[in-house]
């Protein structure tokens, strides 16, 4: 049983005076008759003033009380079982960062969306409400089919901080959840690019306002030793100020007595971005802020320390003198590299025929090639490796997938596990004397760093996948603002883009392994010039909207009429 208008039950209060009236007897005037047989049924009468006494018309009282109950049930709009009225409304709120933008009145678009959601619930007299938030991964904020008060309360606690995305998958899902009612309202800040592509039962309501905006579109921090380098990119969207002040505050790090604060004046170009690079000594967390504007969230970032984790490189025994010297010259100048022992290292370089991660050397029949060289396009080990003018002497083909070839000879190959073979005799080659050699070894070190456990990147922006590297046989958990979730897979794993900014921690069997920071930065969300207000009505209404929602139940009126007729019949006989 449900009530569409519970206040109608107040009509039950009429039962109190009704019962009191039946107990109350008033003095009646004497009536003179010629004979008692003229009275159908003798009735005692009150000989004194008004008084309460036991009444004798119980059937009439019960029938009139039933009539009062019927009236109360009709006024309260009672519904029983399947006939209970339900009006399901599905609200979809845009989860993009631009929904946090403030209009000229200082009210955010998200707050306007909350107010509009409450009006929509009241307008359709919804009894069930489902609230979804659109994003790269749509999520349910309330419901499905929650009470209106709970749904609106969940919307009050929602914060829009997602990246730019396509809302259509969320709207299609909302249309399915709406069912036959097909009441779906999408609250956003931008008009649809093509209204014909919007699902037919969706009402698209844009509440935004076009504004100029200055934003950080990128922020990166790099720590080398005691020096922290912060690189910022600032963009201007619209006819905003041509110069802004970027306030950068570095908190004191371990061993430092006080922090550092700087104010940098940034000259903004008409097109493109302005780059600012700052260095700090002994800095802890670095806070960057721009003057508040239409979207303050994209002008503030926090950059925690991101110390480099150098790759330890070892040289195995047995490597020939020319190859050893060429590798040692590279290690002497390579950044983020530590030369370690020959066992237990992340990257071990050794002679051909060993189990080293990278083998250098040639065996068998030697042949010298001056070109042409054919490289596998797009492979990360060959980024920027130029072999023009190189003399390369190679031996028998090594195992693995060919990456660089000259005719039928395989010069560089890679096995499935990531093991790399450099088929080269450096005593008869000049590759170690040109830029191709340090670039090639640098790519090898970079790929080895990417396979280290943890986050290959410490700072990411909204909308970017979250890459992690795990080792087999361990249980990993990602802890972030959204809570805890397990990480499945071994090796390099690309997790879906996080739905919001914040600090994310990778744990292995409950122990912290690495951390990464997702910044509330997205150039597409910071460009507010295309935002606006529009109301696109749904092209197709649901069944209950076409034929009208069912009115009040009629059976209480039937019950009322039956009670009145029966009461008339009973009192008529008295």
Mean pLDDT of the chain: 85
Question: pLDDT at position 574, please?
Answer: 55
**DSSP letter for each residue of 466-485:** EEEEE-TT--EEEEETTEEE
CATH class, range 88-210+530-546: alpha beta
Q: Is 546 helix (H, G, I), strand (E, B) or coil?
A: helix
Task: Give the pLDDT score at 154.
Answer: 94
Q: Can you give the pLDDT at residue 234?
A: 94
Least confident of 246-255, 290-299, 342-351: 342-351
Report the relative pairing of strands 227-237 and 273-281 from DSSP bridges: antiparallel
Q: Residue 444 and residue 199: Cα distance in Å, rounded?
A: 49
pTM score, whole prediction: 0.68
Do β-strands 2-3 and 283-289 pair in parallel, antiparallel, or remain unpaired?
unpaired
Residues 185-225: tens digit of each pLDDT: 999 999 998 888 888 889 999 999 999 999 999 999 988 88
Sole residue written with tokens 């159908």? 40
Q: Is the pLDDT of residue 181 over 80?
A: no
Element (H, E) at 19: helix 15-23
Per-residue pLDDT at 526 exceeds 70: yes
What class does CATH assign to 311-450?
Answer: alpha beta
311-450 shares the fold of 213-308: no
With tokens 């049930």, the residue in question is 73
Quick one: DSSP state of residue 230?
Answer: E
Give the pLDDT confidence score for residue 548 in this predicted structure.
41
List the beta bridge partners of residue 133: 93, 139
pLDDT at 299 over 70: yes
pLDDT (tens digit per residue) in 240-265: 788 999 999 999 887 777 888 999 99
- Give, in degrees to the nearest 5, the angle at Cα 19 between 14 and 24: 125
Q: Tell me: the pLDDT tens digits for 128-174?
A: 999 999 998 899 999 888 999 999 999 999 999 999 999 999 999 99
User: Which helix (H) or strand (E) segment is 22 a member of?
Assistant: helix 15-23
Neighbours of 111 (CB within 10 A): 16
- Residues 92-113, mean pLDDT to the nearest whole number: 94
Q: Where are the domains of the chain?
A: 2-83+553-573, 88-210+530-546, 213-308, 311-450, 459-519
Q: What are phi and psi of 29, to 5 degrees?
A: -70, 140
How many secondary structure helices (H) and strands (E) does the chain include? 10, 34
Query: How far is 96 from 157, CA to CA, in rounded Å?
Result: 15
Say yes or no to pLDDT of 7 above 70. yes
Are 199 and 539 in contact by the 8 Å Cβ rule? The answer is: no
User: Mean pLDDT over residues 430-457, rounded?
Assistant: 89
For the CA atoms of 38, 44, 46, 51, what is the dihedral angle to 10 degrees? -140
Choose between 343 and 175: higher pLDDT: 175
Q: Regarding the domain delimited by 213-308, which CATH topology (the fold level of the hierarchy) does it fall under?
A: Immunoglobulin-like (2.60.40)
CA gap 352, 346 in Å, rounded: 18
- Report d(CA 453, CA 447) in Å as an integer: 12
CB 143 within 8 A of CB 129: yes
Looking at residue 426, its pLDDT comes to 92
CA nearest 284: which of 264, 266, 261, 300? 261
Average pLDDT over residues 441-455: 87
Residues 6+ away with beta carbon under 8 Å from 477 = 484, 485, 486, 487, 506, 507, 510
The tokens of 450 are what?
Answer: 């990417």
Specify the DSSP element, H or E, that contains 440: helix 436-450
Q: Rg (Cα) of the chain, in Å, rounded?
A: 40
| DSSP state letters, 185-205 | EEEESS--S-GGGS-TTEEEE
CATH class for the region spanning 459-519? mainly beta
Helices (H), 219-362: 321-333
Q: What gap in Å lies between CA 295 and CA 161, rounded to an integer?
A: 11
Lowest mean pLDDT among 47-51, 286-290, 433-437: 47-51
Question: Could you tell me the pLDDT band of residue 506, with boundaries at 50, 70 and 90?
Answer: very high
On whether the CB atoms of residues 187 and 89 are closer than 8 A, the answer is: no
């Amino acid at each position: 049983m449900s009530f569409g208008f519970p206040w109608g039950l107040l009509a039950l209060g009429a039962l109190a005076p009704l019962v009191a009236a039946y107990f109350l007897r008033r003095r009646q005037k004497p009536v003179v008759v010629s004979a008692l047989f003229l009275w159908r049924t003798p009735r005692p009468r009150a000989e004194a003033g008004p008084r309460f006494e036991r009444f004798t018309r119980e059937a009439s009282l019960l029938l009139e009380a039933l009539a009062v109950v019927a009236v109360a049930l009709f006024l309260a709009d009672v519904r029983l079982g399947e006939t209970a009225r339900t009006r399901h409304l599905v609200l979809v709120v845009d989860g993009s960062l631009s929904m946090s933008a403030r209009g000229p009145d200082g009210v955010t678009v998200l707050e306007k969306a909350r107010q509009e959601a409450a009006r929509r619930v009241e307008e359709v007299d919804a009894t069930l409400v489902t609230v979804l938030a659109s994003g790269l991964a749509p999520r349910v904020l309330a419901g499905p089919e929650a009470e209106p008060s709970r749904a609106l309360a969940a919307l009050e606690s929602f914060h829009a901080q997602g990246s730019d995305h396509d809302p259509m998958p969320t709207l299609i899902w909302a249309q399915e959840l709406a069912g036959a009612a097909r009441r779906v309202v999408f609250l956003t800040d931008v008009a649809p690019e093509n209204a014909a592509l919007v699902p037919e039962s969706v009402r698209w309501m844009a509440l935004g306002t076009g504004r100029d905006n200055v934003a950080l579109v990128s922020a990166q921090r790099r720590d080398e030793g005691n020096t922290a380098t912060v690189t910022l990119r600032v963009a201007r969207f619209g006819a905003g100020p041509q110069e802004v002040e970027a306030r950068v505050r570095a908190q004191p790090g371990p061993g430092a007595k006080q922090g550092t604060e700087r104010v940098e004046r940034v000259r903004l170009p008409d097109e493109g971005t302005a780059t600012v690079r700052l260095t700090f000594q002994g800095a802890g967390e670095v806070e960057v802020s721009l003057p508040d504007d239409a979207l303050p969230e994209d002008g503030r970032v926090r950059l925690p320390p991101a110390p480099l984790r150098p790759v330890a490189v070892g040289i195995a025994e047995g490597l020939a003198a020319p190859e050893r010297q060429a590798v040692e010259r590279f290690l002497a100048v390579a950044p983020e590299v530590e030369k370690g022992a020959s066992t237990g290292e992340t990257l071990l370089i050794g002679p051909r025929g060993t189990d080293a991660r990278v083998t250098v050397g040639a065996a068998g029949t030697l042949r010298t090639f001056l070109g042409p060289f054919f490289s596998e396009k797009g492979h990360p080990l060959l980024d920027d490796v130029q072999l023009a003018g190189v003399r390369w002497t190679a031996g028998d083909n090594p195992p693995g997938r060919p990456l660089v070839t000259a005719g039928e000879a395989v010069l560089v190959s890679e096995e499935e596990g990531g093991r790399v073979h450099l088929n080269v005799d450096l005593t008869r080659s000049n590759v170690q004397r040109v830029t191709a050699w340090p670039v090639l070894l640098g790519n090898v070190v970079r790929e080895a760093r990417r396979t280290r456990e943890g986050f290959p990147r410490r700072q990411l922006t909204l909308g970017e996948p979250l890459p992690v590297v795990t080792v087999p046989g361990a249980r990993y958990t990602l802890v972030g603002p959204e809570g805890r979730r397990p990480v499945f897979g071994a090796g390099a794993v690309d997790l879906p883009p996080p739905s919001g900014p914040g600090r994310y921690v990778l744990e292995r069997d409950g122990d912290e392994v690495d951390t990464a920071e997702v910044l509330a930065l997205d150039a597409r969300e910071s460009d507010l010039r295309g935002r606006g207000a529009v109301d696109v009505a749904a092209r197709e209404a649901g069944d209950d909207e076409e034929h009208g929602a069912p009115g009040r139940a009629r059976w209480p009126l039937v019950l009322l009429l039956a009670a009145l007729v029966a009461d008339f019949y009973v009192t008529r006989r008295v």
